[in-house]
Amino acid sequence: MSELVRVAVDAMGGDYAPAEPVKGAVEALRENSGIRVILTGDKDAIARELEKYPDVPKDRLEVIPTTQVIETGEPPVKAIQGKKDSSLVVGLNLVHKGAADALVSSGSTGAVLVGGQAIAKKIRGIQRAPLAPLIPTEKGASLLIDCGANVDARPAHLVQFAVIGSIYMKSICGIENPRVGLVNIGAEEEKGNALCKETYPLLKARTDINFIGNVEARDIPSGAADVYVTEAFVGNVILKMYEGVAKTLLKAVKSGIKSTPVSSLGGLLIKPALKKTLTSFDISSYGGAPLLGLQGLVVKTHGSSKAKEIKNTILQCIQFKEEDVNGKIQEFLRKEKEEKAAGGQESAE
C-alpha cells in the first residue's frame, strides 16, 4: 500500500466516549499499518485515554482538539449548525476538505445523518445519501438500504439505492452479482403501495443489477436477497424489529430455561455453544452502517459501541478506499447521465 488511508474518529461520540473510541482507534492502528487515525475531541480527555497505550504508533496518530460535544437528544440540524467546534462537525469537515478519507462516529444518529449530507456533501448526481447497515441473516449478512433519516422516498431514489447497494456488496463483501430484492408486502409484481408499484418496473428494466423481485419481510432474516431496497421509514422499522424481537425472544428463552432446576442445569450446558451462535446473530457485531453516496465516507457505529466494533469499522474504511467504491458509484452516475442524455436526444428527434 503506497498511501495511508486517513480515518477520522469522533472521540466524543457514543455511550462509552472517549474511552472506547480511543481504544478502538489504537487497536486499529496496531492491527493495520496502512492506516492513519485522526481523533477529534477534548484534548485532555483523549490524552488521558492515550496514556493507557504507551505502545501506540504515534507517527500515524493525530489529535485535533475540539471544545464542543453534540449530545444524543439535541435536534440534529440545530446541533450541526450551532456546534461548529464539536468533535463530529470538525471530523466531517476533515472529510469535506479531503484531509480524511472517512469519518467514524458513534454519536447521535440524527446528527451524523444530517451532518454527513450537509458537510461531507453528496456525490454530484446522488439524490439521497442512504444509511445502509449490514444485517445478519441465515446466509451471512445482507445490506438494508435505506435506514436513514430521509423518509418518503421516490422511486428514482430507490433505484439509486439498488445500484449503490449492489456496488457496496460486491466491493466490500465480495458477493458477485448480489441479489437485489424490493421489500414489499407480497411477492407478485402488482403488490404493494404506490412507491413499490412504481419502483418495481424501474428495477426490472435495469441491466446493471441482479433484481430478483419483491421480498416479503418474513424472508429478510433468512437471507432471501443480498441487498434489501426500501424506503427509510420501513428500513428503520425492519432494523428495529430485528433488535426488538431478538431481545424479547432471548429474554423469554432465558427465563424459560431458568424456570425449573432441570432446565437450569441444561442452561449451563448449552451456554458456551449458544453464546457463539447468538454472537453471529447480534446486529452490533456487523460493524458500523455507512452513509453511502457521499464525497468520502461517513460511518455511523452504534451508540453503545465498544472498541471492537469501532476498530472493525475503521478497518472497513480501508477496504472502501482500496476498492474505490465511490469511483464505482461515480462511474454509474456518469453512465446514467449519458443514458438520460441519449434518451433525451432520441425523443427530440
Nearer to its own copies by C-beta: 137 or 171?
Answer: 137
If one asks whether residue 234 binds its own copies (CB under 8 A), the answer comes out as: yes
Identify each DSSP E strand in the chain by its residue range.
Answer: 5-10, 35-41, 61-65, 102-105, 134-137, 140-145, 179-184, 210-216, 227-229, 289-291, 297-300
If one asks whether residue 249 binds its own copies (CB under 8 A), the answer comes out as: yes
If one asks whether residue 233 binds its own copies (CB under 8 A), the answer comes out as: yes
C-beta separation of 4 from 60 below 8 A: yes
Of the candidate residues 221, 288, 290, 296, the single one contacting its own copies (CB under 8 A): 221
Nearest-5° Cα angle at 65, 60 to 71 = 115
If one asks whether residue 181 binds its own copies (CB under 8 A), the answer comes out as: no
C-beta separation of 145 from 229 below 8 A: yes
Contact range with its own copies by CB under 8 A, out of 1-9, 84-92, 164-172, 184-192: 184-192
If one asks whether residue 140 binds its own copies (CB under 8 A), the answer comes out as: no
Of the candidate residues 82, 98, 201, 256, the single one contacting its own copies (CB under 8 A): 256
If one asks whether residue 247 binds its own copies (CB under 8 A), the answer comes out as: yes
If one asks whether residue 183 binds its own copies (CB under 8 A), the answer comes out as: yes
157 to each of 125, 196, 229, 233, 249, how far by Cα in Å? Answer: 11, 12, 10, 14, 35
Cell of 335: 453512465
Question: What residues have CB less than 8 Å from 269, skipping those under 6 apart?
Answer: none
- C-beta of 144: minimal distance to its own copies in Å? 11
C-beta separation of 273 from 267 below 8 A: no
If one asks whether residue 193 binds its own copies (CB under 8 A), the answer comes out as: yes
Q: Give contact residues for its own copies (rule: CB under 8 A).
A: 110, 137-138, 151-152, 183, 185-186, 192-194, 216-222, 232-234, 236-253, 255-257, 259-260, 262-263, 265-274, 276-278, 280-281
